[in-house]
Amino acid sequence: MDTPNPPGIDSNIGDFLLALLWSLAGLSACILGLRLYAGAFILHRIKLFDYLMIIAFACAIIQTSFLTASVHWGLGRHTSFLSDDEMLNSMKFITLCQGWGIASVSFGRISFCLYLLQFIGSSRTRKWLLYFFVGTQVLFNALTIILIYAQCGSHAEALWNPNLGVKCWSPLVQRDFGFFQSAWNSLTDLFLTILPATIVWILNLGRIQKLGISMLLSLSLFAFIESVIKCDMIKELGPGVDITWRLAVFHLWAVSENYIVIIGASIPTLSPLWRRGMRNASDLRSYEMYGNNDSSGRAVSIVGQSRSTSNVQKTVANTDSTSRGYSSTSQEHILESEIVRTMVVDVSYSDHGKLDIV
């Protein structure tokens, strides 16, 4: 996609860029909404990493909005077909969006790091590694934002308008540090892909459960792939290139990475919704099996309730819950947080009036 069409053809990938990014934004909004619903109404607690993910999503939406404005002015078209006014405005909005994008992916990774801290247990090595990557995410991404907006001093407009005659830093400074920042983000994604597997594999679970949970917690692999591709594309940016076309292709991968981080880090937090759905399905099956299986009227209760019958048979199911919110164990979001006890009592009368209880 990043190879320009032959001269004379005014092609435009801006519409494709916006369709993809806003679709990912909608999917991210749905998954984030389910995450917050699970935290607020099932676990009854919204934690710090949830708020950080909300901030990450808000930053991504702002970035996508600026990109939408930039596409309106010519982002995604070849520079040779743009007027001076279109060129300046497209570069203005692309410059304004960059800081929000860097902040989004940084908040998203930090949120997932804090989420994984719950599963570390007593391992100080893993804990300090997570803190280390949280710190470097803050440091390197903050420096990148500063370099973007400080390279022309107090003359902010000179960032997208070279006609002002303001002396700025060489564009290679930002490009080279951006390459380092993207490489470090790729390493962070790789770390966040491998670490969950090392945590889950020491839990007292079956092999299939371990594999499934490891895959669920290792969705950062997709963000890692996106980050590597974006890192490779940075070297193609710089003076003298078809910048409005190249930047469109670059941001296709860069902004997709932001939404992939949000989606991949939020899917593991949806396990309470899955457990509730499975439990409701189990209750429904219990009703179908026992609720209407006797034409003589000797019905039994739905699991979890108690209902009197015709004094011939009575089934009582009691459920004890060890926790209605977050547990303090390392498996609190992934494994079942309740112990269910079912007690069946049969009461019947013999022909001689003798009462039997089983």
Q: What is the CATH number of the domain that holds 81?
A: 1.20.1070
What are the tens digits of pLDDT across the range 6-47? 456 878 999 999 999 999 999 999 999 999 999 999 999 999
Which residues neighbour 285 within 8 Å (Cβ) at sequence distance 6 or greater? Answer: none
User: Nearest to residue 192, comparing CAs of 107, 142, 139, 261?
Assistant: 261
Beta strands in the chain (DSSP E): 347-349, 355-357
**54 in a structural domain:** yes
Quote the pLDDT of residue 113: 94
User: Nearest to residue 248, comparing CAs of 5, 6, 16?
Assistant: 16
C-alpha atoms less than 13 angstroms from C-alpha of 255 in its C-beta half-sphere: 31
Quote the pLDDT of residue 300: 40
**96 in a structural domain:** yes
135: tokens are 């710190």
Quote the pLDDT of residue 208: 78
223: tokens are 């963000």
- Distance (Å, whole) CA 330 – CA 346: 40
Quote the pLDDT of residue 178: 87
How far out from the chain centre does Cα 239 lie? 35
Coil, helix or strand at residue 246: helix
92: tokens are 């203005």
The pTM score is 0.76
Domain coverage including residue 78: 14-273
**326 in a structural domain:** no
Residue type, 351: D
Query: Which residue in the block uniquely carries the two structure tokens 């947080």?
Result: 337
- Distance (Å, whole) CA 275 – CA 337: 9
Quote the pLDDT of residue 308: 39
**325 in a structural domain:** no
Rounded to the nearest 10 degrees, the angle between the axes of helix 243-266 and helix 84-116 is 20
**228 in a structural domain:** yes
- Residues of the chain falling short of pLDDT 50: 2, 4, 6, 287-333, 335-340, 342-350, 354-358
198: tokens are 């090392």
Quote the pLDDT of residue 339: 47
**314 in a structural domain:** no
Quote the pLDDT of residue 238: 66
**291 in a structural domain:** no
128: tokens are 């300090």
Quote the pLDDT of residue 9: 80
The tally of domains found in the chain comes to 1
Helices (H), 218-330: 220-234, 243-266, 271-290
**281 in a structural domain:** no
Quote the pLDDT of residue 280: 66
Beta-bridge mates of residue 75: 77
- Distance (Å, whole) CA 120 – CA 127: 6
259 and 60 in contact (C-beta within 8 Å)?
A: yes
